[in-house]
Structure 1
Amino acid sequence: MKISARTKQIIQCLLGSGDAFVTVQWIGDRMGISARTVLRELPTAEKWLSQNGFLLEVKKGSGVQLVLTLEQKERLRSLLQLEKVDKEYTPEQRKTIILGELMLKQKITKLYYFASLLGVTEGTLSHDLNEVESWLARFDIRLERKPGLGIYITGEEKDIRRAGISLFYDNIDQARLHKMFLQKLQEDLAVEYDEDSMDVQIQERLLHLIDVELIPLLEEVVRQMEARIGYKLADDAFTALVVHLAIAIQRIRGDEQITMDPAILEQLKQSREYAIARELVEPIAETVGIRMPEEEAGYIAMHLQGGRSRATQSDIAGISMTQDFRLIRIGKEIMRIAEEETGQYLEENERLLVGLVRHLGPAITRIRHNMEIRNPLQKDIETLYPKLTRIAQKCARAIEVQEKIQIPPAEVAYIAMHIGAALEQNRRKNLTKFRVAVACASGIAVSRMLSTRIEKEFGNIDVVDVISTVNIDRDSLHEKGVDLIVSTLPIPGMDIPVLVVGPFLDEEEQKKLQDFIRCGLPSSMDAPAYREQDAYSTLRRLGLYHKKIMGLLEGFRLMEGVDGGDMESVIALAAETFAAEGEGGDKVARLREDLLQREAQGSTILESKGIMILHCRSEGVDRIRFAVLRLGREREVANTKGKTVPVRTMAVLLAPRDEPKPGLEILSEITRGIVEEEEFSTGMREGMQETLENHLSRLLLGFYRQKMEMK
């Protein structure tokens, strides 16, 4: 006699209840089903027990009890382990299916449909719907129950989409999702999966939330957006935007329209991201035969602003001297807190600072836009590294105070990963021979955690690059002499060996990597060994700082009565004044174009000080420059948020496009002085040339002395 999974579970509940009578309600509560369902299954359970020589006693008013000796209990446990059962959905699986159907159908659906689909009674279904209702409430969505008619969901479209995306990500296997984004067709997706698996069947149902055949088209559109905005999206942000577009198209096809606060939409319309999104979604709309409203372009712009890749630069030279100053200050505060809590020296860890700045910018943008932050390793981080999580929580509170936002647990886990990677880096060995690239779809924090873990455990490995799992530059990998790619997901079609590991590199995965090293031959046998800087090198570096500081002071200009009629005329004057000589005016044109392009992204204005910072990196200048422009009359300038602010003083900060680290640090110090030192900013607005030169000299002298102490 074959029994169902539910009948088997009822017998297991009875076996685990001891020698006492239990009620059918008690059994139902532990199994997540109704008492009526338990009553329906009990005769089958009793028959199977009787056929195998066991007694189930039923006592009115008391309940049911297995009457067993110790020997019989052991035999029953053995039989249950061997018993093959018909597969049934778990309560969690049933909840997922119900949620998917409600979002897909977008109309009232009878309870009989769900009871038949899931193979449960209406009593069990009622219990499941309570769980569904609780889950939907997290997204401000209501489950409407109409007796005799059925059930449906109500709520704002943006919340329903948010819930749909969360349901999609929580239940679609990451490796499967990755395959889909390598432009595999839906019918190819199940090749490596057990089609009889309940989880796979549920994934198949959830894939109906999107049009899988549109994925290649949407991928191409997002890549065009990347090319137009001039930066790459992080892998997880790239995937999130494609999924957002796919779900949006399905919802629009069902006549569901999204809304957005008009003030937020107007602000987004001022951004480059909005203009690009609006232009590139029109062909999609025409292809699928829908109308794409302006609010959709607004949400796409939010994805672009909050998804900028954090892995494009690995040193301080990649950080904007003005735009990122606020983030640099937050990053240094995080490093200070982490240093106090761990007792490890982190102040000069440039890699940690750059990683934090590049991660926090997009993360804060997403939080401000109420966009969900997903961290697939959050639970693992919290469980395996509780102390590190507590430190990250303290760091998060510092961000909350400064930015006036609430940091979600997923973001706390990302901060913990950055700090953890830095702590691992502090302990890593110095000798490196094998050249490895690390690939991870979950962002720079996971990549850095894995990178430093590898370098800590293997003294003869040098992680030379962190790459995307979606867009891979094979030529670049060969130029860097990469011997092996260590990836958290499979990367088919590579001519360089790929080793798939988890983000924490467990012992078994370490052994696999060790086996490769033992059998492989590195392509770069002459990797330079690390050595401490000697006194001569220190003096050379200090000399470079000195030379650049003196050059900047000698070229400093205070320009009074500048015509501020329009920004283009101010930029033209700055370009003519500070462009490098030569090439028949090409340098002037190049600097003017770079300044205009930078200002098109929004002006950098210190509102409380009435100072605007005009800045860029350009091939039109041949050295770092700093100047102060005072306008002949006050003018209104729109900041990065679209708000107009009165400005009469401008700070001009310029650097060659390939300016090395010392020059950029000097300009960053000037920016810090403008923001933090009231005497300096007041001198910029009101002081004479000589007074301002003295302020600037004192500021840079203090900076130079700090460099001397550090050396």
Structure 2
Amino acid sequence: MDDRIEAILRELMGSNHPLTGKQLANRLDVSSRTIRDDIKVINDELNDYGAAIISKRGVGYELSIDEPKLFRAYLNNLTQDAEQQATVPTTPDNRLAYVIRRFLLSEDSIKLDDLADEIHVSKSTLQVDLKEVKQRLNTYSLALVSRPGYGLKLSGSELNRRFAMSEYLFDRERLTPDLMWLDQLTTVADLSQEELDNVWELLLEQLRINQVTLSDIAINNLFVHIIIAYKRITEGHHIALIDQDIESIKTKKEYTVAHNIVKQVEKALDVSFPKIEVIYIAIHLLGTKLVSEDRSINQEIETVMDEGIHALTLKMLNAVEERFSLGIQNDRELIIGLGLHLKPAINRYTFGMTIRNPMLEDIKNNYPLAFEAGIIAAMALNEQLNVSIDENEVAYLALHIGAAIERKKAANRPKQCYIVCASGVGSAQLIKYRIEAAFRSQIHVLGTTEYYKIKDIPFEETDFIISSVPVKEDLPIPVIEVNAILGQKDLARIEQYVSFEEKSITDYFPEANVFLNQKLTSKKDVIEFLADYAKSVDDLAEDYTQLIYEREKIAPTAYGNMIAVPHPISPQTSKTFLTVCTLEKPIEWADRKVQFVCLLNVEKNSQEDLQEMYRILSRIVNDEQLIQKLIKSKTYHAFIQTILRMEQ
């Protein structure tokens, strides 16, 4: 059974409601007719295994299992067949992964004609694929070198080759983390299950003895790297000396741990690891270690991280605060958590290591505001250290930021402020009483102080300052300037900061901003169409469209489920608004199909709370049936009614 038919089964098994032929076709990038044909084939296979795919008119396809034991036996046979047979790739993505694996594992040159025959495509199709293959390999500093008469051969350092192998050699999407890729490793490394189990146990034992704490994902990755090292060593390949200062690595605790791990692996597998392999394992540990679990959040930050990382963390959070006004830049748990993550992340970048985040898509889809904040933090990191990190790392930053956002929501306390006044305690008290009378439970006044004592204010406990004198100092919290005798304008300015008028969901989608069933055929056409509209309703810079493309380069804004949410890399408009465009036919957008596009524009220097807008976007992104209904809407009335029903 081929990959596509397996994918149909997987989609139906993983869904708690029927899926239409159109939904399956969109997910698998084929026609609805192909889905119908494939389901006939599947049902022929399932006939003897107590299961069938039932078609319900007007509802969709549903997997019906009458005899669970028989069906499980079928799945077991299917899994074993997939492991034992090297199937020909049937989709563009599978083809790319297959070609990359072929070059990573081949010791000889490969002729294009032979490779094209092997995967059943034309030579011209293969040459198009190779452009993408070369780009992906280039991220690991690997290249395909042409030898006339022989074909193409992989060129690059053994270290970089190994990084690439850890990502592309294993079909990670097919396996659960609990399997640790053991079945595939058995075949690839020519080791028995027992030998792999031994290596796994000794790895855990050494980490425990040396009190090194790693995440489950990090342990799995390290395990795979060690087995790859074994495979390459037994084939006569060794890592060349790397440019970084090896002596400095030898002084670190991680080097001792790596040395002990290698000694145990050598004994278990009867192999001799060169000394440089110990350096490599140490680099991996440096890139994945976590803080010990017994650390207290209440410890002084200076004892947990060095001064440079602490300062860098604060700059990143200040950049996030300037953009989104989330009020989390003084969250101690966030500062510590993000700072502790940054050190190994920078180590990973320094030594050219990549890390895969299996939660990437979930984070992008469910926490879009936190992910965008992660991108702003990553840009600040790049500005400070010239360290450019990919969206896998951005998603890890987003986890820390998202947790802080949720903590702030949970706190649900009134805003806390300090009052600064130069004309005496009496006037400061007058301002205090007026604020407490006007805002009651919304604002808690922590205290009053003179201007010259402004640096003594406990900023970590204070949300903002109300001052009757101009404040020239650069402070870590906002300052609201008022008159010594508070008037209605002063109170309105304060109210604008502490509360916001709750918007109706329809306010985000006015009719003038919704364009349905457009005949646009490319990502470029859609972006330019939406950008031209934005320019027609706001006074925007000439490079506005280019700023949207710059954001796309950092991490594509196509989220799956046929939706993309492009936006400029920094706020450009005089107000916050969304512009929606649905398309007659899906278009390609960063290897995904897209038919619903929402251009997001955020007001420059805005203090407004954007969390409600991002919550609505998240609901849309994650509701496949809703997206299909919105795409099918022919009128604005039908579109907005569908949006309104989402909240009911």
- Per the shorter chain, which TM-score range? 0.3 to 0.5
TM-score, normalised to structure 2's length?
A: 0.46
Larger radius of gyration: 1
TM-score, normalised to structure 1's length?
A: 0.42
